[in-house]
């Protein structure tokens, strides 16, 4: 069986995954599709905007993918798929997905969702004429699920960002432009809750690496400051071979109107050349109380990832 190569961007939201996906989309043979785990919820059921700017149902790329994978999205019971996702991709099910022996009823759900997922990735590669799908879902349970899918060759980019910068971003009120029916906003988190989630997600990907999944850890701040070096080293670990990264010489990244992404940061709609610069507004704008809470909750991994002691840089 031919396996679909999937380059999975893991971590927690607001860590720069959309930016990294735009970089990878320009690497020969790669197709970036945003957060694919949400294609059924956001695309098929929700009709949200694709990164190209078209509603999902009017996007030629996604309609071709649905036709190739299933004979059309309408051939699949979307309510069944959403129920499968709810049952399979809960955070509490990570232990069931991490180890080989799982309960029979859960195994049946995993098996059905596996079949749909294999067909979906294979169709994306065929329609795009690519060899690697870049999936920036980030979600740990979905990564643990993918490592069990026989038709997927999973490689993981564990993207980390200073927890204080991540939490500062989650504390902001941000509009979701992909939703056109009324105004919707991204979820907001308190400093304590966000710090705990940052720890949980990053520890889950540390465990995934310990279980043998091919993983390369990349720091957001280093990626933005030295994109060619960081991207090159990451690809060398996960996809050995020659990769032309000359497109990063200018210190800018192209956000293409032909990228067909599901969900993600609103920057995916800002088509054109985008200057690479580190977003470190938290250093001067984050309230001291919130900053202390996040540092206290996340200090073990801040230390492990080399962030403590960088406050004055």
**What pLDDT sits at residue 230?**
97
Torsion sign (Cα): 226, 306, 213, 7: negative
pLDDT tens series, the chain, 313 aa: 689 999 999 999 889 999 999 999 999 999 999 999 999 999 999 999 999 989 999 999 999 999 999 999 999 999 999 999 999 998 888 887 887 565 667 788 889 999 999 999 999 999 999 999 999 999 999 999 999 999 999 999 999 999 999 999 888 776 565 566 666 546 778 899 999 999 999 999 999 999 999 999 999 999 999 999 999 999 999 999 999 999 999 888 888 767 899 988 777 777 788 889 999 999 999 999 999 999 999 999 999 999 997 654 4
**What pLDDT sits at residue 172?**
78
**What pLDDT sits at residue 61?**
97
**What pLDDT sits at residue 178?**
55
b (16+ CB within 10 A) / e for 42-70: bbbbbebbbbbebebeebebbbbbbebbe
Two structure tokens written together for 134: 């870049």
Greatest C-alpha distance within the chain: 57
How far apart, in whole angstroms, are the C-alpha atoms of residue 36 and residue 43? Answer: 10
8 Å CB contact between 163 and 219: no
Task: Give how far the C-alpha of residue 93 lies from the chain's centroid of Cα atoms, to the nearest Å.
Answer: 19
Fold adopted by 4-304? Rossmann fold (3.40.50)
**What pLDDT sits at residue 313?**
42
Helix (H) or strand (E) holding 176: none
Running DSSP on this structure, what letter comes out for residue 42? I
- Long-range contact pairs involving 68-71 (C-beta distance under 8 Å, separation at least 24): 68/123, 68/126, 68/127, 69/119, 69/120, 69/122, 69/123, 70/116, 70/119
């Amino acid at each position: 069986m031919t396996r679909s190569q999937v380059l999975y961007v893991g971590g927690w939201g607001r860590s720069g995954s959309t930016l990294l996906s735009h970089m990878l989309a320009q690497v020969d043979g790669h197709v970036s599709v945003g957060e694919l785990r949400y294609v059924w919820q956001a695309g098929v059921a929700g009709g949200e905007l694709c990164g190209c700017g078209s509603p999902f149902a009017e996007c030629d790329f996604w309609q071709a993918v649905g036709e190739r994978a299933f004979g059309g999205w309408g051939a699949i019971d979307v309510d069944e798929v959403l129920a499968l996702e709810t049952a399979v991709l809960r955070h509490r099910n990570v232990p069931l997905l991490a180890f080989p022996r799982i309960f029979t009823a859960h195994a049946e759900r995993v098996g059905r969702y596996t079949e749909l997922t294999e067909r979906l990735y294979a169709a994306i590669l065929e329609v795009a004429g690519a060899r690697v799908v870049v999936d920036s879902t980030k979600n740990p349970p979905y990564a643990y699920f993918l490592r069990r899918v026989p038709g997927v060759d999973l490689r993981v980019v564990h993207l980390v960002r200073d927890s204080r910068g991540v939490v500062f971003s989650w504390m902001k009120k941000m509009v979701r432009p992909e939703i056109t029916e009324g105004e919707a906003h991204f979820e907001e988190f308190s400093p304590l809750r966000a710090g705990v989630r940052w720890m949980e997600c990053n520890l889950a990907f540390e465990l995934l690496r310990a279980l043998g999944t091919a993983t390369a850890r990349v720091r957001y701040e280093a990626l933005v400051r030295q994109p060619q070096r960081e991207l090159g080293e990451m690809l060398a670990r996960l996809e050995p071979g020659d990769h032309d990264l000359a497109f990063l010489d200018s210190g800018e990244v192209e956000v293409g109107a032909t990228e067909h992404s599901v969900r993600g940061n609103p920057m995916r709609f800002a088509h054109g050349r985008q200057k690479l610069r580190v977003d470190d507004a938290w250093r001067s704008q984050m309230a001291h109380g919130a900053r202390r809470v996040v540092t206290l909750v996340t200090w073990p991994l801040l230390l492990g990832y080399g962030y403590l002691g960088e406050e004055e840089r």
